[in-house]
Structure 1
Amino acid sequence: MDPIKNVQVELYRVPLAKPLSDAKVLTGRQKPLAAVDLLTATIETVNGSRGFGFSYSLRAGGSALLAHARDLAEALIGEDPNDIGRLWEKLAWLGASVSRTGVSVQSIAAFDVALWDMKAKSANVSIGKLLGAYRNSVPCYNTSGGYLSAPLSEVLSNVERSLERGLGGIKLKVGQPDLKKDIERVAAVRKHVGDGVPMMVDANQQWDFTTALRAGRMLEPYQLVWLEEPTHAYDYRGHAELSARLDTPIATGEMLSSVAECCELINHRSVTFLQPDVPRVGGITPFLKIANSADLNRLKLAPHFVMEIHIHMGCAYPHEAWVEHIEWLEPAFNERLEIKDGQMMLPERPGLGFSLSEQAKRWRVDA
């Protein structure tokens, strides 16, 4: 055994180029998004093996993630880093009095990803290969260019740049108070790109069931790959009913923060595309449990955000998987993902394949 001798956690506030707004802002539930709080964990063993992982928070919560991670870090000292499943449970039980979802597991995620990074590096393969990759690339789509804070002219320009870069699909934010404006926006982009470009829309939970059903029917002529988060994230039955009554596939799951919650979507037959988020569910270890259940039910996979992690998950999933291209965290890392002919390529670099950039150090938060 090469035991863990040092664990370091840090928080960085990575600024966006400009604030972005989705339907949650237009309905007054949130403020525009201006930065991403990035929680990092670096784990080192006695013999010098190192693992790097991260989690994140949008808007509030970053300081809470850091505080909880600091509480947990010492519990890893002296442990065998190969025992990833056991260590996940150890950390989860330490924080069980506050929760086994939310902040608690999202802090654990940074450690969990770092341990998988170390294990893959020791085998000199990427995490995706370590997990038994089914493919070396997956289709990818851009989200960051389709926010509601951008006027239609800017969205069309963003779409052009995304397609020129080689991205395979486009996702648009919807869920405005005036549904007609959503439909007009989607229609304009579909006309601009033609029928051959995959398109998705995301309502960010802003519709009740009746509005979601009506909107879904109005959107069906535009041949969408999926309709995302049409109603409340925990409305398992509502999403199931929409899946049964609409031709457009339903996608959701990004807001859930446990294996049990994601499995409720599976058990209710709520989705065609399941959208778990590695940091939000607690890391790669719980994500694999979700993916296994999704596999048994022959669901498709479209993990939320953090493409730097999810490229590995998408390539290791046996059925159709998409990875979301959002470039917000790119300035924090030295490496970049390769995109070609609509596909995001699995990195050949060992482990996660990412390291913190010098630029990121300027954004460190001493909370």
Structure 2
Amino acid sequence: MSSITRAVAYLVDLPVEAERNDAVQSFLKQETIFVEISTADGAAGTGYSYTIGTGGTAVLALLRDYLLPRLHGQDARRIDAIWQDLFAATRATAVGAITSLALAAVDTALWDLRGRQTGLPLWIMAGGARDRVPLYDTEVGWLHLTTEELVAGARKAVAQGRRGIKVKIGKPSAVEDAERLTAVRSAVGPDLDLMVDANQSMTAAEAVRRAALLTPVNLLWLEEPLPADDLDGHAHLARSTTIPVAVGESLYSIGQFAQYLRRGAAGVVQADVARIGGITPWLKVAHLAEAHNVAICPHFLMELHVSLAAAVPNGHYLEYIPQLTAITSSPLAVEDGAALVPRTPGLGIDWDRDAIDALRKA
């Protein structure tokens, strides 16, 4: 029987593995929300989601007080049915980050459980389009780094075989952004993919201006230039520049992605499993993007997203930001600048249970 008999949630605080600052915020810590689910036939799965410093206890309370009690007795094989039931039970707080993060922790646990029951890894269960995904490096491009540090980090990333590098922008002076990127481009040459991320820091007019200023650097994409709710601004920007506009880490529903894609406001989709509400809606967004001939390059969570980006035909890039080193026993496997999919059943993340217990906060 796949009837759910146990569901628990807890919170683990992870310190950041490197200083990370962008135009609007600093990555304070990773509040990692875990959910463990067991069934009557002895199967078990572990799922998770995260915040970058605030809100973790709110997610935990939503899970413990409202969502997890609804799981008891449900058939763990019916993942979409469970997702819809939990979403319907939270309509007073949806659509939004707290609800999505809670749903994601449950949903990823159910997919992990399914993989362990069937003996299949996630990338096969979700489609199996390929067995590796090219990596681009964000860790070398944070906004607080000096130009000299950016250049040194870029050269190191190239030496490690990275296919692309992402640099944060949003300096008070647009000229400074341009100078920093020009230095990086000169250091890495014309062929390496170079992306930029403004972290929603600009007005619509400023985004148009900076896109024009940065066009000579030959960017693969311009990420989150405007607040995520400014759909009109993104659509206008996309029409005004040849640089593809990338969005998605701050969108929390399939419908929001659909609006961006219909308007031609997203040249690259960056859905985040935790922020969209789990693997179940992530796959729907990926296939929606595929139907619009748009690539999906997921945000963060490389240890989980490697399987999903490999599973779908339009998975194009994986973002390199390590953040689970302290609570996993084996690192992401990398070969020739690409991340390799895990071969073990379920999510394929090798959790260090003792380390998790040592960092558990609630």
The alignment's TM-score, normalised by the length of structure 2, stands at 0.95
Decide which of 72, 75, 78 is 1:77's aligned counterpart: 72
* 1:210-244 deviation digits (Å, cap 9, x = unpaired): 11111111111111111111112122222122222
CA distance in 2, matches of 1:111, 1:242: 37
- 1:363 is the counterpart of 2:350: no
- Structure 2 match to 1:2: 2
Contact preservation (8 Å) 2:252, 2:277? yes
Residues 1-367 of structure 1 correspond to what in structure 2 (within 5 A)? 1-24=1-24, 30=25, 32-71=26-65, 72-357=67-352, 358-366=354-362
Identity fraction in percent: 33
SS at match of 1:199: strand
One-letter amino acid matched to 1:60: T
CA distance in 2, matches of 1:159, 1:115: 38
Contact preservation (8 Å) 2:155, 2:187? no
CA distance in 2, matches of 1:364, 1:234: 34
Alpha-carbon offset, residue 103 of structure 1: 0.6
User: What's the RMSD between the two structures over aligned residues?
Assistant: 1.5
One-letter amino acid matched to 2:143: L
One-letter amino acid matched to 1:62: G
* 1:271-303 deviation digits (Å, cap 9, x = unpaired): 110111111010011112211211111111111
One-letter amino acid matched to 1:12: V
One-letter amino acid matched to 1:69: L
Contact preservation (8 Å) 2:101, 2:274? yes
Contact preservation (8 Å) 1:168, 1:341? no
Alpha-carbon offset, residue 309 of structure 1: 1.6
One-letter amino acid matched to 1:127: L
CA distance in 1, matches of 2:347, 2:17: 25
CA distance in 2, matches of 1:49, 1:167: 38
CA distance in 2, matches of 1:19, 1:360: 22
SS at match of 2:99: helix
> Please, which runs of 5 or more residues in structure 2 have no aligned partner?
none
Number of equivalenced pairs: 360
Alpha-carbon offset, residue 304 of structure 1: 0.7
CA distance in 2, matches of 1:69, 1:144: 32
Moved over 4 A (4+): none
One-letter amino acid matched to 1:166: G
* Residues 361 and 126 of structure 1, relative CA distance in 2, 3 Å threshold: same
